[in-house]
Amino acid sequence: MDGIHDLGGMGGFGPIEVERDEPVFHEPWERLAFALNILGITAIGAYNADEYRHAVERMDPAHYLAASYYERVLTGAATLLVEKRIVTHHELESGAGGLFPLAQPVAENPTADLKPQTQARFKVGDRVVVRNVFPAGHTRAPRYVRGKRGVVLHIAPAFSFPDGSAHGLSARSEHTYHVEFPARELWADSAGNDESVVVDLWDSYLEAR
């Protein structure tokens, strides 16, 4: 999904505010929200980390940007606990004494048709291009590298394919690659010529060039 979460390269944002000696959690409810999400993934086992990421991505973009990080965590966890029928939206709003906004529903056909790659197809130094696909559901190839050409720096172990595991599809693992893209390949002349971005991409996302 080309959602608001896919922020790499978006303009219009201002300075980055750094807080000195920042605590791990600023308020008790942030601590609680963090732990509730871990509970949902592990002790309750209602959803996995890919489903969680996608639930956050499905938040209304205005809510996503207005929310602090732990409000996004809370919204993602609550959305999945409602979708998995552990709690109801009505119960949540009764308990909260007001609106409890959840994320948008999952798309009808969330996954693109990407052929599973059980063997690592690429090696260090290979020149690759990111496939030009537009899955309506979860994917981890950021929009800013779609169709862009890079070079493999490193091969990581096989990991669960997120486009599938976020949508309850059968287990599928693939190697990921650290692929380096010159900044000028990504952003044309507006980028420095001594800068690059390395993106960690599953085998299925890539094609040889």
Partner 1 sequence: MSNPRRSQPPAPPEARANALAELLDEKRLIPAGFLDAVATNAEHEWSPRNGARVVARAWVDPEYRKRLLADATTACAELGYAGPQGEYMVALEDTPALHNVIVCTQCSCTAWPVLGLPPDWYKSPEYRARVVREPRRVLHEMGLDLPKSVSIRVWDTTAETRYMVLPLRPAGTEDWSEEQLAETVTREAMIGIALVSVVTSRE
> Contact residues for a second copy (CB under 8 A)?
1-4, 9-14, 57-62, 64-66, 104, 107, 109, 112-113, 132-136, 147, 187-191
Minimal distance, residue 52 CB to a second copy, in Å: 16
Residue 207 contacts which entry, a second copy, partner 1, none (Cβ below 5-8 A, type-dependent): none
Q: Give 163 or 175: the residue with its C-beta nearer to a second copy.
A: 163
CB 119 within 8 A of CB 96: no
Residue 168 contacts which entry, partner 1, a second copy, none (Cβ below 5-8 A, type-dependent): none
Minimal distance, residue 170 CB to partner 1, in Å: 19
Q: Which residues contact 169 (CB under 8 A, 6 or more apart)?
A: 111
Minimal distance, residue 43 CB to a second copy, in Å: 29
Task: Please give the single-letter amino acid code of residue 113.
Answer: D
Residue 167 contacts which entry, a second copy, partner 1, none (Cβ below 5-8 A, type-dependent): none
Separation between Cα atoms, residue 206 and residue 141, nearest integer Å: 10
Both tokens assigned to 25: 């959690």
Residue 133 contacts which entry, a second copy, partner 1, none (Cβ below 5-8 A, type-dependent): a second copy
Q: Give 126 or 142: the residue with its C-beta nearer to partner 1.
A: 142
* Inter-residue long-range contacts of 1-4, CB under 8 Å, 24+ positions, other chains counted: 1/54, 1/57, 1/58, 1/107, 1/110, 1/135, 1/136, 1/137, 1/138, 1/139, 2/134, 2/143, 3/57, 3/58, 3/61, 3/64, 4/57, 4/59, 4/61, 4/64, 4/65
CB 144 within 8 A of CB 173: no
Minimal distance, residue 148 CB to a second copy, in Å: 10
Minimal distance, residue 51 CB to partner 1, in Å: 13
Look at the block and give the residue holding tokens 């529903």.
Answer: 105
Residue 58 contacts which entry, partner 1, a second copy, none (Cβ below 5-8 A, type-dependent): a second copy
Q: Give 21 or 189: the residue with its C-beta nearer to a second copy.
A: 189
